């Protein structure tokens, strides 16, 4: 009986005593196991140099108003699974990298097959709302898609460097930079993407701004609409602006491809160079990863504005300045001005003529 009472007293003492004495220290964490407690109790928080266990999403469900500093090199133990490796949620958070490298160790996964090879984890999901900002975040060697902005609203991402250039000669594939779905009020600016797939791919969302992005090695700036076969309203993109973006050493400059229902696009002041396939490519014939050659007007593209979009092609045998393939009644109200594309080899091919279109070769 006495023993029991004694034990009980000791437990109460340690439960009350230790967290209170250590509150400051525990808001700076350097090990994976300390993260959960810190995230649930701290609103100013530093996480530094951690290693995350295999097959684990490090989910940071931050308290509203949290200022999180991510520091040092973060790594994840190898596992063949779908990820994501990191997910950040909740509202009104400020996330800043300080000497940060999120190292996905992509070389361990790359097999040149992307989606269809061994299972590879997606890297980072951002699902925050309410005025959240993310800055100075470096992602190195994403195994698969790099950043998914998903069910997010009212957020700004800036000074990101996504560097998957090691994958160029080592089997990197499907390493999209920024994928956006189900999100509204998103700004991504002043960032660099070196990868092997879309620099930006917008699948669904509204009020999106991409500015001063430097993209190289991959596919293009892309609006890819129509991922849902059952839900028309999930196939809508509207009010998207790309401005002052530069695309080099890539397949396309700008690529709009639709599979099912309604984007409104606005493209401003973008430049591209060394483009091997198409400078500007708009196609309404996309079906699950490739062109069918039979366009449909089921996802109309209205109000596609290009203003001061300039670029030069690689001059290679398959380079074409502008390719437009619209389905019946699929395209309307496009206004282009100051669009210039040089150094293409093949003649442009368009079955729809935007207002302001000139012959681009």
Active-site residue list? 197, 219
d(CA 187, CA 65): 19
Please give the span between the terminal C-alpha atoms of the chain, in angstroms, as a whole number: 94
Q: Considering only residues 185, 205, 327, 330, which one is a binding residue for ligand NAG as defined by CB under 6 A?
A: 185
Q: Please, what is the minimum distance in Å from the beta carbon of residue 338 to ligand NAG?
A: 19
CA 267 to chain centre: 18
- Per-residue tokens: 254: 């700008």
To ligand NAG, the closest distance from the beta carbon of 266 in angstroms equals 8
How many positions of this chain bind ligand NAG (CB under 6 A)?
Answer: 17
Q: Is 182 in the site for ligand NAG (CB under 6 A)?
A: yes
What's the DSSP call for residue 319? -
CB of residue 170 to ligand NAG, shortest distance in Å: 24
Distance, in Å, from the CA atom of 223 to the CA atom of 257, rounded to the nearest integer, reads 6
Coil, helix or strand for 202?
strand
23 binds ligand NAG (CB under 6 A): no
Residues 103-122 that bind ligand NAG (CB under 6 A): none
Per CB under 6 A, 18 contacts ligand NAG:
yes
CB of 208 to ligand NAG, least distance (A): 7
Binding segment for ligand NAG (CB under 6 A), chosen from 39-47, 58-66, 115-123, 185-193, is 185-193
Q: How many other C-beta atoms can be found within 10 angstroms of the C-beta atom of residue 46?
A: 18
Nearest Cα to 172, choosing from 138, 139, 142, 200? Answer: 142
Compute the least distance from the CB of residue 244 to ligand NAG, in Å: 7
* Residue recorded with tokens 């009350």: 16
Cis peptide before 174 (omega within 30 of 0): no
Selected binder of ligand NAG within 70, 127, 192, 331 (CB under 6 A): 192
> Residue 232, SS3?
helix
Which phi and psi (to 5°) does residue 315 adopt? 85, 0
Closest CB to ligand NAG among 183 and 348?
183
105, 190, 307, 337: residue in contact with ligand NAG (rule CB under 6 A): 190
Is 39:16 a contact under the CB 8 Å cutoff? Answer: no
Token code pair at residue 359: 């012959």
Shortest spacing between CB 67 and ligand NAG, in angstroms: 21
Which position has the token pair 């994958």?
A: 167
Query: 318: which 2 tokens?
Result: 């398959």
Contact between 154 and ligand NAG by CB under 6 A: the answer reads no
- Decide whether 59 or 190 has the Cβ nearer to ligand NAG: 190
Classify residue 20 as left (phi > 0), alpha (psi -120 to 50) or beta.
alpha
In the stretch 205-244, what mask flags binding to ligand NAG with x, by CB under 6 A? --x-x--x-x----------------x-xx----x-----
Does 263 sit near ligand NAG (CB under 6 A)? no
Q: Which of residues 281-320 bind ligand NAG (CB under 6 A)?
A: none
Spatial contact of 306 and 324, defined as CB atoms under 8 Å apart: no
Binding site for ligand NAG (CB under 6 A): 18, 21-22, 25, 182, 185, 190-192, 207, 209, 212, 214, 231, 233-234, 239
């Amino acid at each position: 009986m006495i023993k029991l009472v004694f034990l009980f007293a000791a437990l109460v003492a340690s439960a009350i005593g230790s967290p209170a004495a250590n509150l400051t220290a525990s808001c700076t964490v350097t090990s994976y196991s300390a993260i959960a407690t810190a995230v649930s109790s701290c609103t100013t928080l530093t996480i530094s140099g951690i290693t995350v266990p295999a097959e684990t999403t490090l989910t940071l469900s931050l308290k509203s108003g949290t200022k999180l500093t991510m520091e040092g090199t973060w790594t994840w133990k190898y596992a063949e699974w779908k990820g994501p490796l990191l997910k950040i949620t909740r509202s009104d958070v400020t996330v800043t990298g300080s000497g940060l490298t999120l190292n996905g160790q992509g070389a361990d996964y790359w097999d040149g097959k992307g989606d269809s090879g061994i299972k590879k984890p997606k890297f980072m999901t951002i699902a925050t709302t309410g005025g959240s900002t993310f800055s100075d975040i470096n992602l190195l060697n994403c195994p698969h898609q790099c950043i998914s902005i998903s069910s997010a609203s009212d957020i700004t991402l800036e000074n990101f460097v996504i560097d998957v250039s090691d994958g160029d000669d080592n089997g990197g594939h499907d390493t999209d930079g920024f994928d956006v779905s189900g999100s509204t009020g998103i700004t991504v600016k002043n960032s660099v993407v070196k990868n092997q797939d879309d620099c930006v791919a917008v699948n669904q969302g509204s009020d999106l701004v991409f500015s001063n992005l430097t993209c190289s090695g991959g596919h293009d700036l892309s609006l890819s609409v129509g991922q849902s076969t059952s839900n028309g309203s999930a196939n809508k993109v509207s009010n998207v602006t790309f401005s002052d973006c530069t695309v080099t050493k890539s397949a396309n400059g700008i690529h709009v491809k639709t599979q099912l229902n309604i984007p409104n696009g606005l493209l401003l002041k973008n430049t591209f160079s060394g483009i091997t396939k198409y400078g500007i490519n708009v196609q309404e014939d996309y079906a699950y990863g490739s062109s069918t050659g039979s366009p449909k007007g089921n996802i109309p593209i209205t109000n596609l504005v290009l203003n001061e979009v300039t670029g030069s092609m690689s001059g290679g045998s398959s380079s074409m300045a502008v390719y437009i393939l619209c389905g019946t009644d699929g395209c309307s109200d496009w206004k282009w001005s100051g669009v210039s594309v040089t150094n293409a080899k093949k003649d442009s091919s368009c079955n729809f003529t935007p207002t302001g279109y000139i012959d681009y070769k």
